[in-house]
Amino acid sequence: MKVTYIQPDGSQQVVEGIEGDSVMQTAVNAGVPGIIAECGGSMACATCHVYVDAAWADKTGTRSESEEDMLDCAMAEMTDRSRLSCQVRLTADLDGLTVHVPEDDF
Amino acid sequence: MTETLIEGHKPLAPPPGIPVLDIDPYDVDTLYTPHAYYEALRAAGPVAYIPRYQVLAVGRFDETKTTFSDHETFVSSRGIGLNDFKLEKPWRPPSIILEVDPPEHTRTRRVMSKALSPKVVRGLMDDFRNSAATILDGLLGREIEAVVDLAEAFPTAVFPRAVGMKDVHTRHLVDYGAIVFNAVGPDNVLRQRDMARAPEVAAWINAACARDRLTDDGLGALVYAAADAGDITEAEAGMLVRSFLSAGVDTTVTGIGNALWCFSQNPDQWEALKADPSLIRPAFEEVLRYTSPVHTFLRTADRDTEIGGHPVPEGTKVLCVLASANMDPEKWGDPEVFRVDRRPVGHMAFGAGIHGCVGQNIARGELEALLSVMIEKVDRIEPMGEAIWRPNNAIRALDKLPLKLIPS
Ligand code: HEM
Ligand code: FES
């Protein structure tokens, strides 16, 4: 399955992901810039912040309270489409998912 | 019929098919020089049986990560040491964050992760930098014992202030962590020695965590505010402040000592850091991977399960050897090389999954402050004698580190 990461300058990277992996892990494996994932997915750092593309917003599920607390600490502004990419798991219906990497992720 | 427990947990006969590793991981000599044991553990298989304590152990990266982070199967509520809290009373009331499972964990974790958030840490950085500069100015150019003079001096200056503690007792603060960490091991000489002085130190720590012993503008106050909001009880707030002190002092002392050791042994890497300050944060990640301040914590199988295809019965204690996972060549290629530009994302030094270190932002903040001041002020870090390690059942820390910091 494929995930597309769009950088602030508009450049795109399409990455092959594995079902069950997080959107963060998929990015880290492929070396996508701007997804630092300092805490490795323990919801402690907010350096894996992404904006889910509008077309996918209703497929990626909802944020937990703890995720919202942490997003509130991210360097880039938190919006309705903000997610911690370590908290979004790839499922069959997310094939083709597109996310935007924020300007300043730490 | 009640079975006789071994080190406070259910005895485990050697499970068929699982390789046997006849080593005492908690032998003092092994704790001094553990790398041969790590290698033997990884070579044995995805999981090994350790007859000495009738436990299993994992040390390859994949199995260590999977076991340590599978909180539904391998629980923390039965203790992260050899004692099974379900069968034997722990030496102190269990931690209400480290030694609990969801849903209890979710509630307390949320309070702690707010109090220790990246935003909160950003607000502490000026103080961290100023204190680092003051301490370093007093140490430049002469022979120092870097464990006491710097690794202990810096966190014990800034962290109690960040927490808002009115009472500061440097020795108790550093030793409490070491006691708690020795307690997760077997009933060996290290644990016995520390248990003997635990009551005095624990009493001081508990008293220092009370609401009226904290200022109203520190991390401690943030935790007590959660009690005022009704998210936790007053008593729970005290317990969570206690966990700042058990998990947040000795660990960062160790992280700093280990960092100084890495750079004293690898002068070219100190040059690399001075040349490119953007490597400061990645360099600390590499220190963590390379030295794993927490070398081993355990989990308990809460139901019959398996590891790497081998059946594991309910009640089995599993040593998760984080330091071995961080040295697995399958994962890291050249793990024995210390490289500040490695960027070892996903290392196990802070754990993984829902219990992953909630204080990691503070730890990174302290190290970033210290190293950024050091690259300005210190040209070279010269060893002035042999570095000596201090054996502990869960922590790998230095006991003595004679150095000279040559000023720029
Ligand atoms: C270099 C420094 C540090 C290291 C290597 C370290 C290591 C760890 C590890 C490996 C865990 C996972 C335990 C488990 O899963 O069983 C952990 C959890 C924890 N750490 Fe740290 N730690 C450090 C600094 C700190 C600091 C500064 C604090 C507090 C301010 C802290 C507070 C905690 C707490 C409360 C937990 C339990 C979290 C939970 O169970 O959800 N640690 N730490
Ligand atoms: S990787 Fe740290 S919060 Fe997602």
CB contact under 8 A, A38 and B114: no
| Ligand 1 midpoint to CA A21 (Å) | 24
**DSSP state letters, B8-29:** TB---PPPTTSPB----TT-HH
What residues of chain B lie within 8 A of the CB of A69, using their CB?
110, 113-114, 117
Q: Which domains does chain A have, with CATH numbers?
A: 2-105 (3.10.20.30)
Confidence of residue B148 (pLDDT cuts 50, 70, 90): very high
Q: Which helix (H) or strand (E) holds B114?
A: helix B104-115
- In the predicted model, what is the mean pLDDT of chain B? 96
Ligand nearest to the CA of A39: 2
Distance, in Å, from the CA atom of B253 to the CA atom of B360, rounded to the nearest integer, reads 13
The residue assigned the tokens 């002035």 is: B384
Which residues of chain A are under the pLDDT cut of 50?
106
Chain B residues touching residue A28 (CB < 8 angstroms): 345-346
Tell me, what's the pLDDT at A74?
86
Among A87, A70, A84, CA closest to A21: A87
Res B2: pLDDT: 55
Q: Do the chains contact at B358 and A44, CB–CB below 8 Å? A: yes
Position B92 scores a pLDDT of: 86
Nearest residue, CB atoms, B345 vs list A40, A42, A69? A40
- The reply to whether residue A38 touches residue B281, judged by beta carbons under 8 angstroms, is yes
- CB–CB of B79/B297 below 8 Å? no
Nearest to A91 by CA among A35, A40, A23, A43: A23
| CATH number belonging to domain B28-407 | 1.10.630.10
Judge whether B369 and B125 are in contact, CB under 8 Å.
Answer: yes
The stretch B307-332 carries a mean pLDDT of 97
Any ligand 1 atom below 6 A from CB of B294: yes
Q: Which atom of ligand 2 is nearest to the CA of A86?
A: 4
Cβ-based neighbours of B8, under 8 Å, separated by 6 or more: B79, B82, B83, B84, B87, B88
DSSP-derived pairing of the beta strands B397-400 and B388-390: antiparallel
* Interface contact B351-A42, CB threshold 8 A: yes
Residue in B181, B222, B251 to alter for ligand 1 test, most ligand atoms within 8 A of Cβ:
B251
Rounded to whole angstroms, the Cα distance separating B71 from B199 reads: 31
pLDDT for residue B81 is more than 50? yes
pLDDT of residue A73: 86
Helices (H), B123-266: 125-137, 146, 153-163, 170-182, 189-208, 219-228, 234-248, 250-265
Across the range B3-7, mean pLDDT stands at 87
Residue B353: φ, ψ to 5°: 80, -155
pLDDT reported for residue A106: 45
Residue B1, pLDDT score:
41
Residue type at position B335: P
Residue type, B215: T
Band of residue B4 on the pLDDT scale cut at 50, 70, 90: confident
pLDDT (tens digit per residue) in B330-342: 999 999 999 999 9
Stretch B188-216: mean pLDDT: 95
Is the pLDDT at B322 greater than 90? The verdict is yes
Pocket of ligand 1 contains residue B359 by CB under 6 Å: yes
The closest residue, in CA terms, to atom 3 on ligand 2 is: A43
CA separation (Å) from B343 to A23, B208, B274?
19, 38, 17
Q: Which of B345, B347, B360, B368 should one mutate to test binding to chain A, selecting the residue with the greatest count of A CBs within 10 A?
A: B345
In tens, the pLDDT along B182-194 reads: 999 999 999 999 9
β-strand B402-407 against B378-383: which pairing, if any? antiparallel
| Per-state percent for chain A, helix, strand, coil, to nearest 5 | 25, 20, 55
Does pTM top 0.90 for this prediction? yes
Give me ligand 1 centre to Cα B247, in Å.
6
- Per-residue tokens: A2: 């494929």
Q: What is the mean pLDDT of residues B120-143?
A: 97
What was the pLDDT predicted at A103? 86
B254-299 confidence digits (pLDDT tens): 999 999 999 999 999 999 999 999 999 999 999 999 999 999 999 9
Instruction: Report which bound ligand comes closest to the CA of B347.
Output: 1
Ligand 2 proximal residues by C-beta, below 6 Å: A 24, 37-39, 41, 43-48, 70, 84, 86
For the beta sheet containing A2-6, the strands, ordered from the edge strand earlier in sequence to the opposite edge, are A12-16, A2-6, A97-100, A49-52, A82-84
Q: State the distance from the centre of ligand 1 to the C-alpha of B170, rounded, in angstroms.
A: 20
Name the minimum distance, in Å, from the CA of B116 to any CA of chain A: 9
Question: Dihedral of CA B83/B86/B88/B93: which sign?
Answer: positive
What phi, psi does B249 have (nearest 5°)?
-105, -65
Least confidently predicted of A71-85, B61-75, B126-140, B272-286: A71-85
- Residue B287 near residue B259 (C-beta atoms within 8 A): yes
The enclosing H or E element of B404 equals strand B402-407
Instruction: Calculate how far, in angstroms, residue B212's C-alpha sits from the geometric centre of ligand 1.
Output: 26
Both tokens assigned to B12: 């485990």
Residue B173: the pLDDT is 95
pLDDT at B213 (0 to 100): 96
**CA B163 to CA B131: how far, in whole Å?**
15
Q: How much distance in Å is there from the Cα of B360 to the middle of ligand 1? A: 7
Q: Based on the number of CB atoms within 10 Å of its own CB, is B306 exposed (0-12), middle (13-18) or buried (19 or more)?
A: exposed
Its ipTM equals: 0.89
Choose among A49, A4, A53, A56: nearest CA to A26.
A4
Interface residue of A29, A39, A106 to substitute, partner B, most B CBs within 10 Å: A39
